[in-house]
Amino acid sequence: MCRTVCGILVFFLLGGLLFAQQPEDVAYQFLKNLVNQDFESAIGMCNDVVKQRLTPEALNGIWSSLIDQMGKFIRVLSFNSGEQSGYTIVVFVSEFERSKLSIVVSVDKDGKVGGLFFQNAPATSYQLPSYVDSERVRKEEVTVGEGKWKLPGELVIPEGTGPFPCVVLIHGSGPNDMDETVGPNKIFKDIAYGLASRGIAVLRYHKRTYVYASEIDPLKITVEDEVIEDALSAVAFLRKRKDIGAVFILWHSLGAMLAPEIAERSDADGIIMLAAPARPLEELMIDQLRYLRSQGMPVEESQIETLLNLKNNELSPETFVLGAPASYYYDLRKRIPIDLVKKIDKPVLLIHGGRDYQVTRKDYDIWKSELEGMENVKLLLFEDLNHLMIAGHGFSYPMEYLRVGHVDQRVIEIIVDWIVSQL
């Protein structure tokens, strides 16, 4: 199964997290110990009161009984936390083989686990953001591309007769669905319905590596196959519709590195780049590893050394690096987005988050320095946004992506205003 470059967006999402200053991460590490059946370590994380009442053997019995009832633990779907009586109460909505369950872990002010409880998981599903007026939009199932690689998609259209300006949403790294789902969050669905309820149609579709993962040879995959061909097909599809006017392309993360090339090769009217890297992918991943290590996460030096070897062209093309062959990185590196943006005369909007530890302020500063004075380019930085364009506070960290959130309304409104100004 092809898992091409899962790294940049969710590479560490379920990795060995331990940020000691965050009660939520203490709770998550405790849960990881349960899942890994490391009950000695789990009890070692507890306060003295729990240690007096609960042995590793007893905890083993509790967890084993739960697994007998629920089946194998699959994953954490989402989490939330709050303060109660001096404890941080962390609730992990988790998926098991047979059902879903909320695992509740309490952490005291000293960073020690003070309790473990289980309760029925809430019957919740994705909710549209409050800034969406669903009565002002309609949706249509569509197909992007033809032949072997045709992809299911959805076109969300404002109520009315049109023609409407339209945005094509292009994914970041990894085999993403049309919503670009990360944990409980659906970044592209937020954007699609947020824009459509403000008069702008949006096309999104499943990524080729999501639909045809088992049919793609990971040693032969290129960004042309993975992303570019389907993006060009999406623009061509919209050009045939009478209810669609100007077409803009919106890219997130890795996809944003390819936006200028697609704009140059298609007749798109403009490009929007969210969390756009200004440097090669391997450089971003090296910085990401070093950031996580600086925050207390155990990172193997060999991972950094492998990426440094990749950066220095010292790996054979077939060598796999974090889910993709080195040839993929070498192919991607040939594309220099800054140079292409300088060449095209189409309008460009770039939005970055100040809390993004994956595509960092370093990238924003490079874009700003290189594109300064270009009248067709608008560059914005929101200090409180993370890589998913979701607002927060303090240091950003991987488990944050499991907290329910939505693309910030400011991002939606900036995109709308910018598109309208181009018409």
- Give me 237's structure tokens: 């599809």
Note whether 246 and 164 are within 8 A (CB).
no
Whole-number Cα distances in Å, 128 to 125, 134, 179, 291, 384 = 10, 8, 12, 32, 21
Nearest CA to 251 among 371, 142, 340, 160? 340
Q: Which of 230, 269, 356, 408 is catalytic?
A: 356
- Give me 352's structure tokens: 């970055």
Look up 253 and say whether it is catalytic: yes
Look up 356 and say whether it is catalytic: yes
> What separation, in Å, do the N-terminal and C-terminal C-alpha atoms of the chain show?
43
Residues near 291 by Cβ (< 8 Å), separated by ≥ 6?
357, 360
Note whether 107 and 90 are within 8 A (CB).
yes
Q: Which of 387, 396, 406, 408 is catalytic?
A: 387
Q: Which of 253, 266, 327, 396 is catalytic?
A: 253
Whether the bond between 163 and the residue before it is cis, its omega within 30 degrees of 0, is yes
Cβ burial 25-49 (10 Å sphere, 16+ → b, else e): bbbbbbbbbbbeeebeebbebbbee
CA–CA separation, 142 and 140 (whole Å): 6
Active-site annotation, residues? 253, 356, 387
